[in-house]
Structure 1
Amino acid sequence: MAIVGGLDVHRRQITFDCLDGATGQVRRGRIVPATRARFRSWLAQLPRPAALAVEGCTGWRFIVEECQAAGIEVQLAEPADTAAADGPKRRARTARAAARRIRELLADGRLPQSWIPPRQVLEMRTLLRLYKDLREEHTAWVQRIHATLFHDGVAAPIGELLAADHRARLASGDGLSPAAHQAVLAALRTLHALENEMAPLRRRLTAFARKQPVCASLLEHYGVGPVTAVAIWAELGDARRFSSSRQAVRHTGLDVTVYSSDTKRSPGRLARQGPPLLRWALFEAAKCAARPSAPDYAYYQQVKARCGGTRAALSVARKLVRRAHHALRALGDEALAAV
């Protein structure tokens, strides 16, 4: 390979470190601003053939897409394993040092690689994160209404807070001070706007889940709904890169840490090194095992009696990962086919 380079992406600039294998010359510099158009023009001046690598942090998507469009080999570095390859930190790592280290790992064939998802998976991930953010914002505003009612000594409606009749009562401000009434009205307007944003998103995700083979298969598992099915499919990705279901569990970050002399992490805790969206989806689905009709109800109750409900749900979530892993592997290339 004539050119081997490492890229370190920041919001304001992209730092590059490129080695010319023919001459041994190293080129270093910055691409400013860090935009798609500016990076495309820099790639146009890069000699061919070339191979580049970038860490899988925020901003990697447009880097990878532009490299692929320009016919340049590109690899995505796994951030945690790349940092571990540096050994213990003695000082803060600069952007130049990071780019150089990525280039050295790529040249030596030791770069820890991450999977580069197809475009449809990336689009679904973006929609899922948007939906989750809106959902969390919606929950926060509902809790704010509950807190306002309690602070003014007004009993909260029994049942669904946002039912039509309850909304009318809240809008009337019965028993609330003028300031609290204004706060509740603002919360109701905000909740209405959030619901208008979430409804079409949920319909789109539901329609996709019914058409996508893996998602349709996941919907057969108790507790897995359309949104969580798409989240598991999109974040777990190509399951063939995992040699076993145990590796799939490690990818989610639901595995438990163990003692290791080369790290400072305490043992017996969740690793939390996988995609947060995937952990959220699995945990939400696993909580349904608390229902008596769930197939995993007996197992859930057994673990709950020993460790509590949260750990029981996490144990069921690990079972769901293994089932999803087998479903993805069984479908092969069809698992990620465009829908």
Structure 2
Amino acid sequence: MPIVGGLDIHRKQITFDYLDVDTGEVRCGQIAPADRAHLAGWLAERFTGERGDVEFAVEGCTGWRYVAEELIRAGVVAHLAEPADTAALRGRKRHAKTDRTDARHLRQVLTDGRLPECWIPPGHVLECRALLELYRALRAEHTAWVQRIHAVLFHQGVALPGDLRTEQGRAVLRTVAQTQLSPAGQVQIVTALDMLAALDEHLDAMRRRLLHAARHLTGAKVLTERLYGVGPITALALTCWLAGTVGGAGRFSSARKAVRFTGLDITVYSSDGKHTPGHLSRQGPAVLRWCVYEAGKVHARRTATDHAYYARVKDRSDGKRAAISEARKIVRQACHILTELGDDALTTT
């Protein structure tokens, strides 16, 4: 490892700090502006012909994708650092924190072999993740506009005339708005319905793309077949975030860690016999957590394979707790299945 370094990424510049192990020379500076073209030029200028002999660490924050891709394209070994664990290795604050100290810290922990490393997914997995996040954002925006319609109608004392999920229901609502709402209320309803129509169009297109991706990803196909309540989109999310290998083994050494990664674990704080009520950590990918929770609710059906367990938890607590419990079981089962598949889970057909 003749050259080892760290890159601290920001929107305006990338700060670098690298060490030539053979000579002991340290170089630091900035790459500006922080875009793909300038980074590629900088790598070509400094590390051409040294393929495999250069390693750089990058924190897994916004912007890491294009940096890692350019490093790999230039023949540089890219290491993705877990931000929170990397910051914890810094210890107590003893000096000013700057971009240069951040880059140096990454270089030092990489040199010492202490870097808390994350898995770098292949390109097609990153693309699916981005589409899933967009799909969830569109769904959330769709729900928000429906809630606005309900609020406007209630505020002006008008009952919802029909089902907003159908064209007939929306047409009736337009008619009712013209006759029973104030001018401002009419504008609010018409605007909301136009936004819902546009969102429906985008959601349909996005859903088709996700279904196509799920049909061609091995892990997603297997999960859809083997897990009750897991549809193609949920299976795609589980595969994109839980599959993969680190050091020849699965991403998670236990299914419990996969549940923690999803953010469905219960936080615990206890001291001197006192403790606060636990709540969901809600860490990790929100898209994955949303998908498995929706899959967990499917077990409320009497024909579901695990309905008995769902019913017991619901009777003891409530339906939400029952769905969360089922979601945890789905994550654990998916983790075992994807570990069995290994690298084949991410192959496309």
Q: TM-score, normalised by structure 2?
A: 0.90
Partner Cα separation in structure 2 for residue 217 and residue 89 of structure 1: 48
Partner Cα separation in structure 2 for residue 251 and residue 93 of structure 1: 29
Alignment correspondent of 1:198: 203
Alignment correspondent of 1:210: 215
Partner Cα separation in structure 2 for residue 53 and residue 235 of structure 1: 21
Partner Cα separation in structure 1 for residue 108 and residue 10 of structure 2: 20
Counterpart of 1:167 in structure 2: which amino acid? Answer: R
Counterpart of 1:26 in structure 2: which amino acid? Answer: V
Alignment correspondent of 2:304: 294
Partner Cα separation in structure 1 for residue 281 and residue 235 of structure 2: 23
Partner Cα separation in structure 2 for residue 20 and residue 113 of structure 1: 22
- Among 216, 225, 230, the alignment partner of 1:224 is 230
Which ranges in structure 1 are unaligned for 5 or more consecutive residues?
A: none
Alignment correspondent of 1:95: 99
* Secondary structure of 1:45's aligned partner: helix
Which ranges in structure 2 are unaligned for 5 or more consecutive residues?
A: none
Partner Cα separation in structure 2 for residue 59 and residue 266 of structure 1: 37
Partner Cα separation in structure 2 for residue 134 and residue 90 of structure 1: 45
How far does the alpha carbon of each residue in 1:195-214 deviate from its partner, in whole angstroms, 9 at most, with x for none?
11111110121122233222
Are 1:117 and 2:121 an aligned pair? Answer: yes
How far does the alpha carbon of each residue in 1:112-141 deviate from its partner, in whole angstroms, 9 at most, with x for none?
110110111011011111111111111111
Partner Cα separation in structure 2 for residue 80 and residue 275 of structure 1: 15
Are 1:237 and 2:255 an aligned pair? Answer: no
1:35-74 map, 5 Å: 35-47=35-47, 48=50, 49-74=53-78
Contact 2:229 2:299 in 1 (8 A): yes
Alignment correspondent of 2:112: 108
1:1-339 map, 5 Å: 1-47=1-47, 48=50, 49-88=53-92, 93-158=97-162, 160-172=163-175, 173=177, 174-220=179-225, 221-238=227-244, 240-259=250-269, 268-339=278-349
Partner Cα separation in structure 1 for residue 285 and residue 147 of structure 2: 26
Contact 1:257 1:266 in 2 (8 A): no
Contact 2:255 2:332 in 1 (8 A): yes
Contact 2:135 2:207 in 1 (8 A): yes
Name the stretch that deviates more: 91-100 or 54-63.
91-100
Counterpart of 2:219 in structure 1: which amino acid? Answer: V
How far does the alpha carbon of each residue in 1:283-330 deviate from its partner, in whole angstroms, 9 at most, with x for none?
111122222222222212222333333222221111001111122122
Contact 2:218 2:348 in 1 (8 A): no
Counterpart of 2:66 in structure 1: which amino acid? Answer: F
How far does the alpha carbon of each residue in 1:87-110 deviate from its partner, in whole angstroms, 9 at most, with x for none?
345787422222111111100001
Contact 1:6 1:100 in 2 (8 A): yes
Partner Cα separation in structure 2 for residue 307 and residue 88 of structure 1: 42
| TM superposition shift of 1:70 | 0.6
Runs of 4+ in structure 1 off by over 6 angstroms are: none
Q: TM-score, normalised by structure 1?
A: 0.92
